[in-house]
């Protein structure tokens, strides 16, 4: 059977499967000791975010949080370049200087990932002002976790977006935990869409185990945002693993994890495609296999790629034309030399 290339649900399944395979290889990269730094945050279990990324158009922009690999892949990132960045290699998206939590690429509309909780949210307000004033038709989307629902910068940004009718969407991927703290222990009122509504935003919640439900909500919010009516979307998901790669999540019971992982968006999408005869089991197995091969190659590429030369350490850090900082040893020698002469 030839796979129907015009099937949007099938395309979303393919993207989710690629994200899952990519994140599994990121875990392998860490275990092999090839990742740059010690902190990696996997988005396994959150793949239904594809429903939001697929509702965006070419030219739209976005920011992500520290768990943003899947979002970037959903917006067209090259997995080999992305894996190389996570490995700290020269041919990564930021020449190995961004790592897992600070990837950015203006060409694909990625205004930057941010390890600071809620740190990337206000950037879309600035982008939204630009798009509104130029009438470009673009929207900007901030992706963040439920931990950012306790950050004041989110509410300042929501207020500005509603007040100025900005073409933006605030997308909360609620995976139930901020590090090791369950959301019901950090939020007095867990009706997050109601908070957004109070600021004057269009707000919706979608089941994070159902990518098509996410897409339906996202498509409606995106259309309204392009018309100057900003929105908020909560994707109710479950984080399959710990906060970071080394976190074995002792704060969760085995029973909870079994129940949470049963809400697998990929498994549900696969079952729906089979039930509607959109693809056979063999077709879906082929998609899964292709994703595995693609990400195996991305992993091998990242491991084999060259690290950036030490001489490039300060490039892309200061404004063009700024003299490079003097090495500390050279500065200390000069100071000691002056002291000896005195």
What is residue 338's predicted lDDT score, i.e. its pLDDT? 67
Report pLDDT for 54.
97
Cα distance between residue 26 and residue 68, in whole Å: 13
Structural domain includes residue 336: no
Report how far residue 203's alpha carbon sits from residue 288's, in angstroms, rounded to the nearest whole number: 34
334 assigned to some structural domain: no
* 3-state class (DSSP) for residue 171: strand
- CATH number of the domain to which 287 belongs: 3.40.50.970
- C-alpha to C-alpha distance for 171 and 221, rounded to whole angstroms: 10
On whether residue 327 sits in a domain, the answer given is no
pLDDT at 2: 43
Helical packing angle, 8-31 and 211-226, nearest 10°: 110
Q: Tell me, yes or no, if the pTM score tops 0.85.
A: yes
Range of the domain at 256: 8-311
- Is 104 within 8 Å of 57 (Cβ atoms)? no
Residue 43 in any domain: the answer is yes
Q: Residue 189 has what pLDDT?
A: 85
DSSP 219-273: HHHHHHHHTT--EEEEEE---SS-SSTT---TTS-HHHHHHHHTS-HHHHHHHHH
Counting as low any pLDDT under 70, the low residues of the chain are 1-6, 38, 338-342
pLDDT at 4: 47
Domain assignment present for residue 320? The answer is no
φ, ψ of residue 254 to 5 degrees: the values are: -60, -35
End-to-end Cα, the chain, rounded Å = 85
CB 310 within 8 A of CB 300: no
How many angstroms from the chain centroid is the CA of residue 37?
A: 18
319 inside domain: no
Residue 318, in any domain of the structure: no
Give how many domains the chain has, as a whole number: 1
Beginning with the edge strand found earlier in the chain, give each strand of the sheet holding 110-113 in spatial order.
Answer: 110-113, 61-64, 140-145, 168-174, 231-236, 202-207
**pLDDT value for 342:** 55
Residue with tokens 């015009």: 6
CA distance 38 to 179: 16
Task: List pLDDT tens digits, range 66-86.
Answer: 999 999 999 999 999 999 999
d(CA 112, CA 65) in angstroms, rounded, equals 9
pLDDT in tens, 240-284: 988 887 788 899 899 999 999 999 999 999 999 999 988 999 999
| pLDDT value at residue 180 | 82
Is 192 inside any structural domain?
A: yes
- 15 neighbors 74 (Cβ within 8 angstroms): yes
């Amino acid at each position: 059977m030839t796979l129907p290339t015009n099937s949007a649900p099938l395309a979303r399944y393919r993207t989710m499967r690629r994200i899952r395979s990519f994140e599994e290889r990121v875990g392998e990269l860490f275990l092999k000791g090839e990742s740059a730094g010690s902190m990696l945050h996997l988005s396994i279990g959150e793949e239904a975010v594809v429903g939001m990324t697929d509702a965006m158009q070419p030219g739209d922009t976005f920011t992500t949080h520290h768990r943003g690999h899947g979002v970037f892949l959903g917006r067209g990132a090259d997995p080999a370049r992305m894996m190389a960045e996570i490995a700290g290699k020269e041919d990564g998206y930021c020449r190995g200087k961004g790592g897992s939590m600070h990837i950015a690429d203006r060409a694909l509309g990625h205004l930057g990932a941010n390890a600071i909780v809620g740190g990337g949210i206000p950037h879309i307000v600035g982008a939204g002002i630009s798009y509104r004033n130029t009438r470009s038709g673009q929207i900007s989307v901030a992706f963040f976790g439920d931990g950012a629902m306790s950050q004041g910068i989110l509410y300042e940004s929501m207020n500005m977006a509603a007040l100025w009718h900005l073409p933006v969407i605030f997308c909360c991927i609620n995976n139930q935990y901020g590090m090791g703290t369950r959301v019901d222990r950090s939020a007095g009122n867990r009706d997050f869409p109601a908070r957004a509504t109070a600021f004057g935003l269009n707000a919706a919640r979608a089941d994070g185990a159902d990518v098509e439900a996410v897409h339906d909500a996202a498509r409606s919010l995106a259309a309204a945002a392009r018309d100057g009516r900003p929105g908020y979307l909560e994707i109710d998901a479950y984080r399959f693993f710990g906060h970071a790669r080394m976190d074995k999540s002792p704060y969760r019971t085995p029973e909870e994890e079994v129940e949470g992982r049963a809400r697998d968006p990929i498994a549900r999408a696969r079952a729906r495609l089979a039930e509607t005869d959109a693809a056979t089991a063999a077709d879906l197995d082929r998609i899964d296999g292709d994703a595995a091969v693609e990400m195996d190659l991305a992993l091998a590429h990242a491991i084999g790629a060259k690290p950036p030369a030490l001489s490039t350490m300060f490039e892309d850090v200061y404004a063009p034309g700024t003299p490079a900082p003097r090495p500390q040893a050279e500065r200390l020698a000069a100071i000691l030399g002056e002291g000896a002469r005195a």
